[in-house]
């Protein structure tokens, strides 16, 4: 549970919201290192003229400043979409707490820069192969086996780290029979918090 059910009007609601924000941040930090965490997988949407691009990715790293990172192949549609419009909307869902978290973020691509090289050095060999296919992701093939052709040496030439710089968070939690909803927005000196009508 992220949001406090206690709707006592005398309660210091700013503190309740600040605590909820801290809990969300802690869970995101934990999720990046825990394959079993409900926030380990995130659904990332990016704008595209044909309709939003949408896909699951693995949260690889998160920071106190609410920057989230995932890995991808530089040849994928999402990278093209981010190049065109450097934004993303991210959806997390925690079924146990019936909690939904929607993050709006500025998206930044890291390709063969220091950050990407640091992450590449931590990817183990079998996982590196994912970024080494000779044919680019999305190519139509006659047989699924044709998607696993690799060069002799797999380097970081297709490896890209996407950094999502959180601008706002919308947290919606079902507390039967009502929901609770809060919004957090990045401000110059921290985060602004609001309760929202669910």
Residues that bind ligand FMN (CB under 6 A): 41, 53, 55-58, 70-72, 76-78, 137-138
Q: Which is nearer to ligand FMN, 78 or 119 (CB)?
A: 78
Q: Which residues pair with 179 in a beta bridge?
A: 174
Q: How far is the CB of 184 from ligand FMN (least distance, A)?
A: 25
Q: Which is nearer to ligand FMN, 38 or 53 (CB)?
A: 53
Q: How far is the CB of 44 from ligand FMN (least distance, A)?
A: 8
Q: How far is the CB of 45 from ligand FMN (least distance, A)?
A: 10
C-alpha distances out from residue 11 to 6, 38, 191, Å: 8, 30, 20
Q: Which is nearer to ligand FMN, 61 or 183 (CB)?
A: 61
Q: Which is nearer to ligand FMN, 139 or 146 (CB)?
A: 139
Q: How far is the CB of 176 from ligand FMN (least distance, A)?
A: 29
Q: Are residues 138 and 53 in contact, defined by beta-carbon separation less than 8 angstroms?
A: no
Residue 30: left (phi > 0), alpha (psi -120 to 50), or beta? Answer: alpha
Q: Which helix (H) or strand (E) holds 71?
A: strand 67-73
Q: Which is nearer to ligand FMN, 161 or 171 (CB)?
A: 161
Q: How far is the CB of 137 from ligand FMN (least distance, A)?
A: 6
> Do the strands 178-187 and 87-94 form a parallel or antiparallel pair, or are they unpaired?
unpaired
The set of residues, in sequence order, having a beta carbon less than 8 Å from that of 83 and lying 6+ positions away, is: 109
| Residue 108: closest CA among 59, 186, 162 | 162
């Amino acid at each position: 549970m992220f949001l406090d059910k206690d709707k006592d009007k005398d309660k210091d609601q700013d503190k309740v919201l600040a605590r909820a924000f801290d809990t969300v941040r802690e869970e995101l930090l934990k999720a990046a290192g825990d394959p079993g965490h409900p926030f380990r997988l995130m659904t990332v949407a990016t704008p595209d003229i044909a309709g939003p691009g949408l896909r699951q990715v693995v949260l690889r790293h998160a920071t106190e400043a609410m920057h989230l990172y995932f890995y991808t192949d530089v040849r994928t549609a999402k990278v093209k979409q981010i190049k065109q419009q450097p934004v993303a909307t991210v959806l997390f869902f925690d079924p146990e707490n019936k909690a939904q978290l929607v993050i709006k973020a500025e998206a930044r691509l890291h390709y063969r820069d220091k950050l990407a090289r640091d992450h590449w050095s931590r990817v183990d060999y079998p996982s590196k192969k994912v970024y080494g296919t000779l044919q680019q992701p999305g190519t139509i093939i006659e047989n699924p086996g044709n998607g696993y052709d690799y060069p002799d040496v797999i380097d970081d030439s297709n490896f890209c780290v996407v950094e999502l710089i959180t601008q706002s968070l919308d947290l919606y939690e079902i507390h039967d029979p009502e929901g609770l909803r809060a919004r957090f927005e990045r401000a110059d000196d921290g985060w602004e918090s609001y309760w929202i009508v669910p």
